Structure 1
Amino acid sequence: MENILEVKDLNISFDTYGGEVKAIRGVSFDLKKGETLAIVGESGSGKSVTTRAIARLIPSPPGRIKSGEILFEGKDLVKASEKQMQNIRGKDISTIFQDPMTSLNPTMKIGNQIMEGLIKHQKMPRGQAKKRTVELLELVGLPNASERVDQYPHQFSGGQRQRIVVAIALACNPKILIADEPTTALDVTIQAQILELMKDIQKKTDSSIIFITHDLGVVANVADRVAVMYAGKIVEIGTVDDIFYNPKHPYTWGLLGSMPTLDSNEEELVAIPGSPPDMLKPPKGDAFAPRNEFALEIDKVQEPPMFKVSDTHYAATWLLHEYAPDIEPPEAVKKRMKGFAKTGTIRTSEEGEKS
């Protein structure tokens, strides 16, 4: 399958009063046409910074892309001018942000906010744009769309506002849709509806999706592949089956061990000890080593390369070296892996319900 996006050795820093924060350190991945790639990790791992860089939404200053390439259909977006990016944002690459109230203009009718992109990028006459706006609102499941198109954001519920944000993102049939934790602020029922909506729309439009989340329960239901991020780096990447049934990085083990399954209500959740490193002074060696009970001596002095597990699965851990001791995931993680295989489903860690 053809790649629509390739991120190569991306490095991003933020200049602060305390010094240079090395937020993204050598991130590389690709996105195929019609694929959903989930990026997971704790808060501060670099998920949102990575994807905002794709749309060139990193505020500068203080942020700056130090090096690397972001190839969209073969064109390097890092070298694109702001005017070129204005023609790409919304038209080819759209973003759904976490909080719809910060994404919507409270002083504008929702119809006008959707029509903006249609008029600018699609060059539609206003009458045609309004008709298309109603169709988009119906597509995302907003009831009485023709009547509500002239209402303001405060007149809608949280779930409805998120549907409006999805409609705005979809207005120009983007080739890549970046969903930055779009369901975190919603209750579990609305969350499931929005996720189902995105999957349905992807089938109809064949768009590619980058889905950012900290919730592995969401990942299992929406993604084709998963990239696990820690301390500004991708530490493991593979298909959903690779990550849930055959995880190799101790950090991935920790994430899986901290989430419940449908198989048992009484099993103990295992928290990852410690906290992420200070990116003002990234640690030498493997950044996860201080929190990793399975860390080797080499982890303290040398950063592990990305080892190949299979054609679809890679992980950056010295445990995959041919001379490393044979260490298996903790029992808590094995139980979850068995639970995933037995039930074929997962429930979200926050809500304790099937997502």
Structure 2
Amino acid sequence: MDKEKVLEVRDLKVSFKTYNGEVQAVRGVNFDVNKGETLAIVGESGCGKSVTSQSIMRLIPEPPGWIKSGEVLFEGKDLTQVSEKEMEDIRGKEMAMIFQDPMTSLNPTLTVGKQIMEGLIKHQHAEKHEAKERALEMLRLVGIPSPETRINQYPHQFSGGMRQRAMIAIALACRPKLLIADEPTTALDVTIQAQILDLMNELKEKLQTSTILITHDLGVVADVADRVVVMYAGKVIESGTVEEIFYRPRHPYTWGLMGSMPRLDLTREKRLNPILGTPPDLLSPPQGCPFAARCKHAMKICQQQMPESTSVEESSTHQVNCWLEHPMAPAVEPPAEVAGGGSK
């Protein structure tokens, strides 16, 4: 039985106009999000993760950015074709976003309570007293102590972890069907990060909200995600379940991500294994595999042509875009420190 799809992204292409030319930030991205699951999108800074998420929410500033082509189907409706007024009705009500830095996302001139109530009054036409009760309920749900006091306080009176919890409360107030979390734990210390991840897992179970988690932290992915999409240079180069990506990664770039994670079970000399080189210039992206210039297994075909998506071992979920999957390619095994999911 097929899972119910909440979101389908089909061949999404997003560019930005600059003085030097067109930056092709997202170059034909495809993925789905099923009801009640968490999909993690991972990759280096600049790979197109945040641009993809902002394009789904139609938050790309136009100009200089624009969606060149593709579809973003939310419950069957193509969001690239709806008006800005329709998107205003969808944002906050049907889909919501938690941004990377809560201090710049929260309004410093409004109390946290008013910011939670705002969406309830606008989208659910709640009376003021109903909205306040709901805001108190949300503050309790996300674990903020003394909600009756905190509801009247301003963002600067909250700690970093509490501000992030407040952002989650605002995003979830209208019970959206899709939540996009863009690096929700980056600015937090490890203890608070663990609490926020536990909270997101708990809320997913309670509310059955579908989540897209944008991150470069594979430890976070292992903790909360069901499926993973690996992006590089504006393209999806591997996707699969958490177990498939962590225990049976097939793309050399995914191997590099795994190998660059800190490991406690290795000697000091071998503890970090960075990916050498730099990502390609997306003003003039390569015609072949974008990782070819940094890949020690690259072949001539890799420079010339982008590989098609291939199912790994006839799996319906594990897909990889790599010429090493071709029957005529040499057999290449992942590095020893990556094989078997050691980096998890």
For residues 178-222 of structure 1, the C-alpha deviation after alignment (integer angstroms, 9 at most, x for no partner) is 000000000000000001001101101001000000000110010
User: Under a length normalisation based on structure 2, what TM-score does the superposition of the two structures give?
Assistant: 0.97
Corresponding residue SS for 1:192: helix
Corresponding residue SS for 2:80: helix
For residues 5-51 of structure 1, the C-alpha deviation after alignment (integer angstroms, 9 at most, x for no partner) is 10000011101111000010010000000010000000000000001
- 1:93-132 matches, within 5 Å, as 93-132=95-134
2:176 to 156, 174, 177: 174
Structure 1 pair 65–338 and aligned structure 2 pair: CA distance change class (3 A): closer
Corresponding residue SS for 1:79: coil
Structure 1 pair 63–213 and aligned structure 2 pair: CA distance change class (3 A): same
Identity across matched positions, percent: 63
Aligned 8 A contact 1:263 1:339 in 2:
no
Corresponding residue SS for 2:169: helix
Match of 2:94 in 1: 92
1:212 to 211, 214, 222: 214
Aligned 8 A contact 1:262 1:339 in 2:
no
Structure 1 pair 265–169 and aligned structure 2 pair: CA distance change class (3 A): farther
For residues 85-130 of structure 1, the C-alpha deviation after alignment (integer angstroms, 9 at most, x for no partner) is 0000000110000100111010111111110000000110001100
User: Under a length normalisation based on structure 1, what TM-score does the superposition of the two structures give?
Assistant: 0.94
Q: CA deviation at 1:284?
A: 2.0
1:193 to 192, 195, 209: 195
Structure 1 pair 328–176 and aligned structure 2 pair: CA distance change class (3 A): same
Match of 1:300 in 2: 303
Match of 1:239 in 2: 241
For residues 222-244 of structure 1, the C-alpha deviation after alignment (integer angstroms, 9 at most, x for no partner) is 00000000000000000001100
- 1:27-66 matches, within 5 Å, as 27-66=29-68
Match of 1:312 in 2: 317
- Tell me how far apart the structure 1 counterparts of residues 253 and 171 of structure 2 sit (CA, whole Å): 33
Query: One-letter code of the match for 1:328?
Result: E
For residues 237-287 of structure 1, the C-alpha deviation after alignment (integer angstroms, 9 at most, x for no partner) is 000011000000000000000113454464431110111111001012111
Match of 1:282 in 2: 285
Corresponding residue SS for 2:338: helix
CA RMSD of aligned residues (A): 1.0
For residues 152-198 of structure 1, the C-alpha deviation after alignment (integer angstroms, 9 at most, x for no partner) is 11111000101000000000000000000000000000000001001
Aligned length: 339
* In the alignment, structure 1 residue 326 sits paired with structure 2 residue 331: yes
Aligned 8 A contact 2:246 2:341 in 1:
no
1:153 to 130, 152, 155: 155
Unaligned runs of 5+ in 1: 341-345, 347-355
- Tell me how far apart the structure 1 counterparts of residues 341 and 137 of structure 2 sit (CA, whole Å): 44
- Tell me how far apart the structure 2 counterparts of residues 312 and 153 of structure 1 sit (CA, whole Å): 42
Q: CA deviation at 1:145?
A: 0.3
* In the alignment, structure 1 residue 255 sits paired with structure 2 residue 290: no
